[in-house]
């Protein structure tokens, strides 16, 4: 079997394979930097001083995996059922169900907190299209 214009085809194929697999070569050996969440805002430090430990509405593990459902439920409960207080399953403490006036009061560092994981996972929640995010000082990025 004869391959007409074999040289050109082979070169073309090599170029194609090279370009198509470029992202894999390019990222070889690069370890994605893991998201680093900062939970050292003044409000959280004040909480730690008062209660002796850092704690969120629910346990860290629960918040990590379920915060989206929790927030969805909060918004329905607030807007549609006129509830405002959430009783924690973990600590029994009562919390104001609010993103702007609840979550972000403690986590006033959206860039160092929310955005860290959201960017890492490439998810773009549209919360902040409407909800106003706290003013953050441009911190020195190391």
Partner 1 sequence: MSMDRRQFLKIAGISSILGFGASVASATHTIWEPGLKPPQVEPNPDGLIAKRWAMVVDMSKFKTDEDIKKVTTACHQTHNVPDFRNPDGTVDKKFEVKWIWEEPYERTFPGSENKFMSEHIKDMPFIVLCNHCDNPPCVRVCPTQATFKLPNGITMQDEHRCIGCRFCMAACPYGSRSFNWTDPRKAINPATENKAYPTRTKGVVEKCTFCTERLQFGKLPACVEAAPKGAMFFGDIEDPNSEVRKIVTSQLTIRRKPELGTGPAVYYVIGGSDHA
Q: Rank residues 26 and 126 by Cβ distance to partner 1 and give the closer one.
A: 126
Q: Rank residues 21 and 101 by Cβ distance to partner 1 and give the closer one.
A: 101
Instruction: Tell me how far CA of residue 43 lies from CA of 9, 54, 75, in angstroms.
Output: 65, 11, 23
Going residue by residue from 61 to 80, which x/- string records binding to partner 1, judged by CB under 8 A?
--------x--xxxxxx-xx
Spell out the alpha helix ranges (H) of the chain. Answer: 6-20, 22-27, 42-51, 60-81, 104-106, 114-120, 127-130
* 86 forms part of the interface with partner 1 (CB under 8 A): yes
N-terminal to C-terminal alpha carbon distance within the chain: 61
Among 89, 93, 119, 125, binds partner 1 (CB under 8 A): 89
* List of residues contacting partner 1 (CB under 8 A): 69, 72-77, 79-87, 89, 94, 97, 100-101, 126, 129-132, 134
């Amino acid at each position: 079997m004869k391959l007409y214009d074999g040289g050109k085809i082979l070169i073309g194929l090599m170029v194609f394979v090279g370009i198509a697999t470029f992202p894999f070569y390019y990222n070889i050996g690069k370890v994605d930097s893991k998201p680093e969440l900062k939970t050292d805002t003044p409000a959280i430090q004040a909480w730690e001083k008062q209660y002796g430990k850092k704690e969120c509405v629910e346990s860290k593990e629960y918040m990590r995996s379920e915060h989206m459902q929790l927030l969805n439920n909060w918004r329905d409960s607030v807007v549609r059922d006129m509830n405002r207080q959430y009783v924690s399953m973990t600590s029994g403490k009562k919390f104001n169900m609010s993103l702007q006036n609840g979550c972000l009061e403690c986590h006033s560092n959206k860039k160092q907190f929310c955005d860290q994981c959201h960017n890492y996972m490439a998810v773009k929640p549209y919360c902040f299209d409407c909800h106003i995010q706290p003013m953050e000082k441009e911190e020195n990025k190391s």
